[in-house]
Amino acid sequence: MDNHEAQINHNSSARILIVDDMPVNRTIMSSMLTSLGITCDLAGSGSECIEMCKKCTYDLILLDHRMPDMDGVDTLVVLKDIFRRTGAETPVICHTAEEGRNYINLYKAAGFADVLIKPADPGEIMVMLMTYLPNGGYVLPQDEERKNRVDRELESLPAWLKTVPKLDLKSGVEHCDTASGYLNALAVFAGSVQDKAADIKRFEVDENWPMYLLRVHSLKSVARLIGATSIADRAADLEFAGRHQEYALIHAGTSALLEEYNDMYSRLKKLIDMKELPKEEEKPKEKKPVANTRTKFFEKRKIILVSEDRGIVWKGITKALEEEDFDVISIKDTREEILEHRADSKLILYYPSEDADQTKVISAMLTEMCRDDNKILCLAGDPLDLKTALEIHDKEYISSVYTRPIDLKKMAADMSDYHDMVSDIPRTRRILVIDDDTDFLAIIKDWLSETYHVECSRSGPSGLGYLDLKRPDLILLDYEMPGMNGDQVMQRIRSNPVNKRIPIIFLTGKNDREGIMKLLEQKPDGYLLKSMPKEELLDALERFFYYSAKKV
């Protein structure tokens, strides 16, 4: 673990050995722990675990009970002998499936320090870490500081909100980070209750189970974010019933869910019209400098315009770019001029000529240059000329194509965005969030907009349409959506040569082994739980962008 990761996570150098014969189980557990800054080693069998423990001392061992060569108990017996000889006092926790819950006392009698049931709940993992690791794997003063800050935020909430039953204010503030952020999330939640409750009831009456499951799944995730744990639990139970086709249980339980859901609306509806802010004096948020503004005032942006033509279209393109404050470097489409001005800009706009042979030569040259120099290449022109240019082998390095009649204003705005993507001047990263739940979109946009430029799409087709116009730095993609699900959207994105390099992280409300395994099979660039607190979400995205930059 390098210094940067340690700085982000603020954790100690705890080292844990994860032993499980299922690769997906090892992946899920190690992902959870490494995101907390804890170093993990992995073993796929009892014998491998034993060999590793002969060479290294661990702070904690998570040991699967059911393994083919040596089960957990057999492995533990050998480990205890190693510990006696080396003087190690390593706690070993039995990591077992749900049925193991009935045998916890037997596991402890066999010598296990404790038992952790699969799939591991993040809260239970935290309890294990605090119990068995030195300082719980964390720097305690910072934990105390966070607790004190949450307490201060809780005190600043309106007094009437503290009387709302079945609303865990502490959980909500911990998820949303601040009291004002929590109140905004509550207002979003309350504002959609009537429409979403009507949808759930209609889908239940019509027995439209796919849509019913999507709605209660979304409700479960957002309810957990705001601390409406009772509603979230009811929604989770109904989702479970639907997954197992227990439709009688759905008919029996939907009314109780909607009654509690609507009751929560009646208690929170004042937030819709008046977003009450914390009583403490709020300081205006310091806005981060936007790259366009900094660039505009401190240096002229440059773009290379390659074109043999000097007619009315060329003049229109030049004028539109200059209005976007570009210094347009116009050159002929010859190898000599292109090489002479190669270092003048990282952004190239090519207007191919009617000479097909010349267009093919120049297109190949420009794409090779953009690949080698990390430049951005865009094309504009007549359809037939563009078709010739796009026949080149490396057309995946062409970022945008503008066919006559060209929307000059949009093209110039796109060039501005592309310039900032490759500029050395710090810029705000752009994130596209695709999710059918409007509540979740509103909440996550509020959370992320402090750090990123956030755009939202409510469906797969809408998100794909956005990508026809702009290229974000990251896509956060809901895995379960009606019509076109997350997997289908990702396949469409990755089948497009222009967009296939955009990283995609799945958003999911499930943290069970089966759900995560199915998700990982699609090979996204990562996954995030929709129930993650704001601080953890921002931390995860910061790590993602940091390590992505290191790979470039």
Q: Which long-range contacts (CB under 8 A, 24 or more apart) does 249-258 make?
A: 250/204, 250/209, 250/212, 251/204, 254/200, 254/201, 254/204, 257/200, 257/216, 257/231, 258/197, 258/200, 258/201
Sequential DSSP letters for 365-401: HHHHHHHHHT-EEEEEE-HHHHHHHTTSTTGGGEEEE
- Under 8 Å between Cβ of 527 and 519: yes
Calpha distance 289→415 (Å, rounded):
19
In three-state form (DSSP H/G/I as H, E/B as E, the rest C), the secondary structure along 297-341 is HHCCEEEEEEECCCCHHHHHHHHHHHHCCEEEEEECCCHHHHHHC
| Three-state DSSP state, 456 | strand
Q: What is the pLDDT of residues 47-59, one digit of tens each?
A: 999 999 998 889 8
Return the CATH architecture of domain 3-138: 3-Layer(aba) Sandwich (3.40)
Q: How confident is the model at residue 247 (pLDDT cuts 50, 70, 90)?
A: very high
- Equal CATH topology for 146-273 and 430-551: no
**CATH of the domain spanning 291-422, picked from 3.40.50.970, 3.40.50.2300, 3.40.50.300, 3.40.47.10:** 3.40.50.2300
Residue 433, pLDDT above cutoff 90:
yes
- Contacts of residue 512, defined as CB under 8 A and 6 or more positions apart, other chains included, come to 119
Residue 344, pLDDT above cutoff 70:
yes
Look at residue 33 in the predicted model and tell me its pLDDT. Answer: 75
Residue 148, pLDDT above cutoff 50:
yes
Look at residue 274 in the predicted model and tell me its pLDDT. Answer: 61
Q: How wide is the angle at C-alpha 420 spanned by C-alphas 417 and 426, nearest 5°? A: 140
Calpha distance 173→188 (Å, rounded):
15
Q: Residue 138's beta-bridge partner residues?
A: 11
**CATH of the domain spanning 146-273, picked from 3.40.50, 1.10.3470, 1.20.58, 1.20.120:** 1.20.120
Residue 192, pLDDT above cutoff 80:
yes
Q: Please tell me whether the peptide bond between 119 and the residue prior to it is cis, using omega within 30 degrees of 0.
A: yes
Neighbour tally for 405: CB within 10 Å: 7
Q: Look up residue 220 and give its two tokens.
A: 């479960």
Q: What is the pLDDT of residues 64-122, one digit of tens each?
A: 888 877 888 889 999 999 998 888 889 999 888 766 676 677 777 778 888 888 766 66
Q: Look up residue 232 and give its two tokens.
A: 């979230």
CA distances in angstroms from 418 to 302, 305, 473, 510, listed in the order given: 11, 14, 11, 36
CA distances in angstroms from 457 to 188, 325, 396, 439, 481, listed in the order given: 17, 30, 25, 12, 12
- Under 8 Å between Cβ of 226 and 172: yes
Residue 440, pLDDT above cutoff 70:
yes
Residue 133, pLDDT above cutoff 80:
no
Residue 513, pLDDT above cutoff 70:
no
Overall pTM > 0.85: no
Look at residue 259 in the predicted model and tell me its pLDDT. Answer: 95
Q: What is the pLDDT of residues 264-293, one digit of tens each?
A: 999 998 887 665 444 444 444 444 443 333
137: left (phi over 0), alpha (psi -120 to 50) or beta: left
Percentage, residues of the chain above pLDDT 90: 32
Residue 442, pLDDT above cutoff 70:
yes
Domain coordinates in residue numbering, the chain: 3-138, 146-273, 291-422, 430-551
Q: What kind of fold does domain 430-551 have according to CATH? A: Rossmann fold (3.40.50)
